[in-house]
Amino acid sequence: MPGPVTVVGHPLVQHKLSLLRDVSTGPKEFRELASELTLLLAYEAMRDLETQPVRLKTPIVEGDFPMLEGKKLAVIAILRAGLVMSDSILRLVPAAKVGHIGLYRDPATLQPVAYYSKVPQDISERRVFLLDPMLATGGSAVAAIDTLKEAGARSIKLLSILSVPEGIEKVHAAHPDTEIVTAAIDERLNDHGYIVPGLGDAGDRLYGTK
């Protein structure tokens, strides 16, 4: 049974995603767009955060106004492309703790290879937002969610700017409880594991390493 997927079809998101896809978009603009798209995905992904009334004074009156309940959050960046996303999301939720999971994709097997993992110790008490701009084969996302669950995480949402059906199916086959929030579901993967039409290698485009 498939798990939950939210595609953020807002025109602003779609516009910025098209600019991100454009091969002539350079690293500076690419980082800015990825950062803005992350904020817009996070806005959607955090729609169900609970609020509680807090007593405060406006310049005019005293009253009860909604503020986020003290539920703890964690943002986990899959290195390296997820780093821009975690920096961005911290502007919205500066009190969130940040973790990092380092995985790279073996170019021959396309399987994820873990080389680093550091996540908040109290992750079991936190709502976790896992950040990876590209949900392609799904191998890295599944490996990262495995790592997070082994560390005790119980509530995980995956934010990916771009995804494909293969990746979504793979994540939900292994972790049907993980909601995926994405700006678009593209057609397919090519023989090299790249998303089509896609935007190329997100890490290289973010950091100009191509």
Annotated binding residues for 5-phospho-alpha-D-ribose 1-diphosphate: 80, 105, 132-140, 201
Q: Which of 119, 138, 198, 206 binds ligand URA (CB under 6 A)?
A: 198
Q: Is 141 in the site for ligand URA (CB under 6 A)?
A: no
Strands (E), the chain: 5-7, 51-57, 62-68, 72-79, 97-105, 112-118, 126-131, 134-135, 155-163, 179-185, 188-189, 195-196
Q: Which of 78, 85, 136, 171 binds ligand URA (CB under 6 A)?
A: 136
To the query of whether residue 105 is one of the catalytic residues in this protein, the response is yes
To the query of whether residue 51 is one of the catalytic residues in this protein, the response is no
Q: Is 38 or 74 the residue whose CB approaches ligand URA more closely? A: 38
Please, what is the minimum distance in Å from the beta carbon of residue 195 to ligand URA?
4
Q: Binders of ligand URA among 96-115, rule CB under 6 A? A: none
Say if residues 138 and 146 touch (Cβ distance below 8 Å): no
- The alpha carbon dihedral of 43, 92, 134, 174 has a sign of negative
What CA–CA distance (Å, rounded) separates 140 from 101? 10
Q: Which of 134, 153, 156, 171 binds ligand URA (CB under 6 A)?
A: 134
Name the residue type at position 40: L
Q: How many residues does the chain have?
A: 210
Binding site for ligand URA (CB under 6 A): 134, 136, 193-195, 198, 201-203
Q: Which residues does the annotation mark as catalytic?
A: 105, 109, 201, 204
